[in-house]
Homo-oligomer: A and B are copies of this chain.
Amino acid sequence: MSDDPVGAFVPGPRARRPGRPGGPLSGLTFAAKDLFDVEGVPTGGGNHDWAAGRPVPERHAWAVQALLDAGADLVGKTITDEVSLGILGENAFDGTPVNTAAPDRVPGGSSSGSAAAVAAGLCDIALGTDTGGSMRVPASFCGLYGIRPTHGRIDVTGMLAQAPSSDTCGWFARDARTFARAGAVLLGEPPGALPTSLIVAVDAFGFADPAVAEALKPMVARLGRIVGAVREEIMAPQGLSVWARAQRMLQPVEAWQTFQPWIERDNPRLAFSVAAGLIAGAQVSPAERNWAALMREEARARLRYLLPAGTILCLPTTPFPAPLRGLPLPAQQPLRDRITCLCAQGGLTGSPQVSLPGAKVDGAPVGLSIIGGRGTDSSLIAVAEAMEAAA
């Protein structure tokens, strides 16, 4: 039997590195999305023309080094959507990892292989990235714990950049205890205090498929019992689709700035959808971009207002469970757009968000997300542990 039955790892020899003996993560294994540098291994970036002409990394990415130093063993690098541009997890070069929780459906992306590897039990922890939803979406679709940390909280040295003002480094785990152990290492602090107030984002629940909102109800109830005070609020008074519109201008403009030198020099092969996204970024007008930057300020102000210390907000991570694999592009686009409506707040505001597993629709997982004020990552992890304990 293959040691990669779900096609989660980058094809070819596995990048394996032992952890330092005696650390707090000793006995655990981890994988790293192929956007993270591993010393001596070309960073593939999910595109066969990315590594060409780039030096082989001479040191590990910060997060890889941190997990190794804490004793976890690296067992491989995982498939990613091309240079992190994708949200469904279908890669035309390396293949689509199998979502063991729903094998006929996509794993979600762009941290597709990391999520698939953890879901299949091939490792305990996996590093991923999240710019516009790349941790949260696969966590939701594969039924995992996954975090998009506060922007700037975790060092992204050695991580392939996409849109630096939104890029973050996160991780997946199957259980809250392991999730929290990795968090203690990567955040540098143990789980924090539990919040005391919960906001239910009624606009986001209303935007999700009714079956998703219904399936998440027991989790919301449990969360309310853990936190205490519960109230309903609109998260995005300007509109979820307006926040998404702003994010869909800011992020592609930055992505184009990031990748333009590579594209103009190497004219690389890209899946059509990836090229189309980059061109969309190149075509955003300065006036549109300026408006989007103002809306980002409004979104940040809104979450600062809603989320004082001790308050968290919950919403469906994704508006639906994982779509089927292999959908034609015209069927994918409206799905991507709807996902962005529930994910835009992360890239816009930089707030931390954890996706919690526990609900299913039509047999496929869907996650409940909790968001806190900037810097409250460890409190969200404490909530994850409490939710699992109360399940």
Bound-state Cα–Cα, A270 to B329, Å: 15
CB–CB A268/B92 < 8 A: yes
With a cutoff of 8 Å between Cβ atoms, the chain B residues found around residue A328 in the complex are 264-265
Query: What is the distance, in angstroms, from A84's C-beta to the closest C-beta of chain B?
Result: 17
Q: Does A285 contact B (CB under 8 A)?
A: no
CB–CB B267/A268 < 8 A: no
Count of A interface residues, CB-CB < 8 Å: 21
Q: Does A6 contact B (CB under 8 A)?
A: no
Give 1 or 0 for each of A269-281: 1 = CB within 8 Å of chain B CB: 1111101101100
CB–CB A329/B267 < 8 A: yes
Bound-state Cα–Cα, A270 to B276, Å: 11
Q: Does A49 contact B (CB under 8 A)?
A: yes
CB–CB B270/A272 < 8 A: yes
Nearest B-chain residue to A268, judged by Cβ = B272
Give 1 or 0 for each of A245-277: 1 = CB within 8 Å of chain B CB: 000000000000000000111011111110110
With a cutoff of 8 Å between Cβ atoms, the chain B residues found around residue A334 in the complex are none
With a cutoff of 8 Å between Cβ atoms, the chain B residues found around residue A90 in the complex are 267
Query: What is the distance, in angstroms, from A49's C-beta to the closest C-beta of chain B?
Result: 7
Q: Does A50 contact B (CB under 8 A)?
A: no
Which 6 A-B pairs rank lowest in CB-CB distance, beginning with the nearest? A275-B275, A264-B329, A269-B269, A92-B269, A264-B328, A263-B272
